[in-house]
Amino acid sequence: MLFFNRNNQVQDGQGRPRRRVGCLGGCLIFFAVYFLCSAILGWIMGDAFSSSTVELKDKTVYRLQMKGMLVEQAQEYNPFASLLSSVPYSSYAKQETVGLDNILANIRLAKNDDRILGIWLDGGELATAPANAKAIRDALLDFKTSGKWIIASAASYGQTNYYIASVADRICLDPTGGVNWNGLSAQKMYYTRAMEKIGVEMQILKVGTFKSAVEPFFRTSMSDADRKQTEEYLDGIWSEFKSAVGASRNLTADQLESLADRYMGLQPAEDHLTAGLVDTIVYAQDMDSLLRVYTGTKDYNTLTTDKLAQVKRPASKAKDKVVVLYLEGEITDDSGEGIVGKQVVKTLKKIRKDDDVKALVLRVNSPGGSANASEQIWHAVQNIKADSIPVVVSMGDYAASGGYYISCGADYIYAEPTTITGSIGIFGTVPNVSSLRNKVGLDIDGISTNKHSALETNMLFKGMNPEERALMQTMVERGYGLFTRRCAEGRHVDQDYIKSIGEGRVWLGAKGKEIGIVDEMGNIDDAIAKAVELAGLESYKLSYYPEKTDPFEELLKSLDNTTEEEKLILKLREFCSQPRVMARMDEVRIQ
């Protein structure tokens, strides 16, 4: 037995000093224990994964839980998620995500498999934008052609969720709930006066009258151009909502306008019943009774989206592949959580080397980002096309600015009517902190060998002089010229025409078809079908990228102890470290 003496020396049982284990020895022991635990955990979890396939039983109801954040591509089933959901700073502690791909695949399965009796839309808080909401709604309408039923229930319905739920054969509402049917609004925060108070001026360089992403940094309200384009796309989305809901609920546009003006979410549940927005007032805890009626049995089963996605599906034995590459989020050069240019280019090169790949579908859901990364992705896509592989784009909620840049070179482009696209424009931003520097008493001095050697430092700490501004503006205009040329080449039109519809203006997908920046209205299934047609395939199998993350990797990422505040500071530091040239649309919250 070992003991410690007063001098913290290790002694044996007879009191004789022994040497302490050295740093190297301690590390070896630590890693030995670590790898042993990892092996045991891997064996346990490996067994869990091997049995993760879910059995689909008779008399099953697909319980589509309308909650969490909708993302394009679901991650692999992760048994750590529920275990670590309460760990501080863990990604599992953040808002739950649900994959659009899983939802659409599950609805197709539910339509065609007789073991599934119907769909229960449970809840009304799924965070999604109108375009992807329409994709779900259209899939549900297609499901109903099978003759099967859909029931919706919620304590309360968000407006976009109600747009989806309106297809249901019966809409149920909790006695204390409501439908937030109140119209759409787009609100922006303007920082100009706040920045003036702290002594920061954002130096703006842009091309495009409608390029409004930078307006919050030098205006205090919407410009006329931004107000015009915002009104247009809000009116377009609102018209789609009214038309679809009106057709499903047998309500006129005037009736729906009147209900919106009452802000129905603040009205009693009985008023929703009288107005025809819902069919039944029922507590959520009593939905079992109603489901028994619809299923004809008390012994029905339910499967949620994650569980139903684990039901084994027939695998294609075809050799030829159609690759679906999901591109979601802000576009960055070499880091970030969205569309990282270097990673995407690497993936596209991998796809290009695969001789079995016969067609490529890009699923784009992005407001834009780095102009350089957008150009790199565009070029990698063109290399694939050069190998006679057709490329088809399917636009999600957004495919604007840089998101349109990476789409414009495709052979065919699909969008939803409410997809926000276009915004063909570019801007650069350089903060000027000279006033703040003077307030806190910081002085800058140094030596330069040439006229513009300290350009970036001077622009940040002293502000641009006219010559420096002209240099930066020329760079931005050159970027805009390249952007519009790429669009003109991809759409087979004159560059001047692209400039006439560009100017940073945002368009809805339906309008995009009218002006020629989109080929057809449709969803990702339509895009895949088009890719198959263009490739002339009779049989094929689908392959998806990015490849889904291993749960162990997700576990390590989830334990990142970097706080949100620290991440914000790092992002701000990156923002202020160099001039930025961006092809990005403004993000507006559509409520």
DSSP 250: T
CA 106, distance to chain mean position in Å, is 20
3-state secondary structure of 96: coil
Kind of pairing between the strands at 3-4 and 10-11 = antiparallel
Percent of the chain having pLDDT more than 90? 77
Q: Which of 385, 581, 382, 387 is nearest to 485 (CA)?
A: 382
pTM: 0.84
Domain 60-182+263-309 bears CATH identifier 3.90.226.10:
yes
Q: CATH 3.90.226.10 in the chain: give the residue spans.
A: 60-182+263-309, 321-590
State in Å, rounded, how far the first CA of the chain is from the last one. 68
What pLDDT, on a 0 to 100 scale, did the predictor assign at position 565? 54
pLDDT of residue 284: 87
Q: Which two tokens stand for residue 275?
A: 């107005």
Sign of the C-alpha dihedral, residues 218, 220, 224, 225? positive
Which pLDDT does position 421 carry in this prediction? 97
Q: Which runs of E-coded beta strand occur in 37-162?
A: 60-65, 69-71, 97-99, 116-122, 149-154
| The pLDDT value given to residue 336 | 84
Cβ burial 373-400 (10 Å sphere, 16+ → b, else e): bbbbbbebbeebeeeebbbbbbbbbbbb
Q: Across the chain, what does the average pLDDT equal?
A: 87
pLDDT for the residue 339:
97
Q: Which fold has domain 321-590?
A: 2-enoyl-CoA Hydratase; Chain A, domain 1 (3.90.226)
Low-confidence ranges of the chain (pLDDT < 70): 1-52, 76-95, 549-591
Residues 434 and 405: beta-carbon distance below 8 Å: no
pLDDT confidence of residue 39: 45
337 touches 329 (CB < 8 A): yes
Measured CA to CA in angstroms, residue 498 lies from 205, 226, 495 at distances of 20, 19, 5
CA distance 48 to 46: 5
The alpha carbon of residue 380 and the mean position of all alpha carbons in its chain are separated, in whole angstroms, by: 22
Distances (CA, A) of 2 to 15, 24, 29, 221: 9, 20, 17, 74
Q: What is the pLDDT of residue 53?
A: 82
pLDDT for 583 equals: 56
Specify the pLDDT at position 581. Answer: 52
User: pLDDT digits over 49-77, tens only?
Assistant: 444 689 999 999 999 999 999 999 997 65
314 preceded by a cis bond (ω within 30 of 0): no
Cα angle 92-96-98, degrees, rounded to a multiple of 5: 125
* CA distances to 33, 98, 438, 479 from 579, in Å: 48, 36, 22, 14
281-317 core/surface letters (b: 16 or more CB in 10 A; e: else): bbebeebeebbeebbeeeebbebbbbbbbbbeeeeee
What angle, rounded to 10 degrees, do the helices at 23-50 and 551-558 form?
Answer: 130
pLDDT digits (tens, 9 = 90+) for 321-379: 999 999 999 999 988 889 999 999 999 999 999 999 999 999 999 999 999 999 999 99
Output the six-digit token pair for 368.
Answer: 């834009």
SS3 annotation, 438-503: HHHCCCCCCCCCCCCCCHHHHHHHCCCCHHHHHHHHHHHHHHHHHHHHHHHHHHCCCHHHHHHHCC
pLDDT value at residue 547: 85
Tens of pLDDT, residue by residue over 372-399, are: 999 999 999 999 999 999 999 999 999 9
CB 141 within 8 A of CB 124: no
pLDDT for 10 equals 43
